[in-house]
Amino acid sequence: MPELTDLATIRALCEKYDFALSKGFGQNFIINPGVCPKIVDGSGIDRSWGVIEIGPGIGVLTKELARRAGKVVAIEVDKRLPPVLAETLAEFDNVKILLQDVLTLDLHQLIREEFPDMPVAVCANLPYYITSPIIMKLLEDRLPIRSVTVMVQKEAADRLAAAPGTRESGAISCAVQYFAEPKMLFTVQPGSFYPAPKVTSAVVRLDIRPAPAVQVPDEKGYFALVRAAFGQRRKTAANSIASGLGLPKEAVLAALERAGLDPRVRPEKLTLADFAALQAALGTAR
């Protein structure tokens, strides 16, 4: 099988299977031959690992994963692709394709059934239109996975990797840091894809923590507070929290003070520990 990074090969496959790339499914395929090996290097997997890939497309990253991992399960939503993948991945007996929407799939069950005795990593060039829901599902479902190595838009990668308390931080940065240790790996230029997207991409790796970064008594309430704080970007945390959680502003201001925080603080200045202290202080105010 000729290399899948070769445009002539991609065009020939598209013609053979009467397949046109779908913008709606976020299909931008990797055509730079250096990128897939670099992503797999960055993921740190080897033969002893099981890998879940989200969105194999025509299989360019899947092939590199199959060469280097013990087993790969690739989840693809586009029903036109499994026949293409049957051809492009024919040489591998350690790859399984699931025709499913990753957002509705029971990943706990998948891991139990497919990887009963292997460490598991997620590795993917994500469909950019659902980056956040996919990342949140992977983290919030508390899956027995060790790491998530994903290519996303550079701007999204910056937010995933931002430390709470710094300028780029947002609600998703707090969620990532709560469950994982993020690391920005490298950027990838638009010309490395077919078709070329408008923006630069980047690969980040999230190493799942054995236990969350901070202890909170009520995780749901904690994330409701974090989301509310970032709900209105240009407002102070107090204003956003009051309107987001439907609390009197005075109660939020008093809680901020009790937690030892500046009542005019902006949400991006708050660390995970600050949010935990604020949650505890709000608890006593209600």
Interaction site with ligand SAM (CB under 6 A): 25-30, 54-57, 60-61, 75-78, 101-103, 125, 127, 130
Calpha distance 144→60 (Å, rounded): 26
Chain length of the chain: 286
What is d(CA 122, CA 97) in angstroms, rounded to the nearest whole number? 14
Tell me how far, at minimum, the Cβ of 154 lies from ligand SAM, in Å: 14
Q: How far is the CB of 116 from ligand SAM (least distance, A)?
A: 23
83 neighbors 141 (Cβ within 8 angstroms)? no
Beta bridge partners of 50: 71, 120
Least distance (Å) from ligand SAM to the CB of residue 148? 15
Distance between CA atoms of residues 226 and 215, nearest Å: 15
Phi, psi for residue 60 in degrees, rounded to 5? -65, -45
User: Which of 135/253 has CB closer to ligand SAM?
Assistant: 135
Beta carbon nearer to ligand SAM, 31 or 277: 31
State which residue, 108 or 264, has the beta carbon closest to ligand SAM.
108
Q: State which residue, 115 or 193, has the beta carbon closest to ligand SAM.
A: 193
- Please answer whether residues 38 and 59 qualify as being in contact, where contact means their C-beta atoms are separated by less than 8 angstroms: no
CB of 145 to ligand SAM, least distance (A): 17
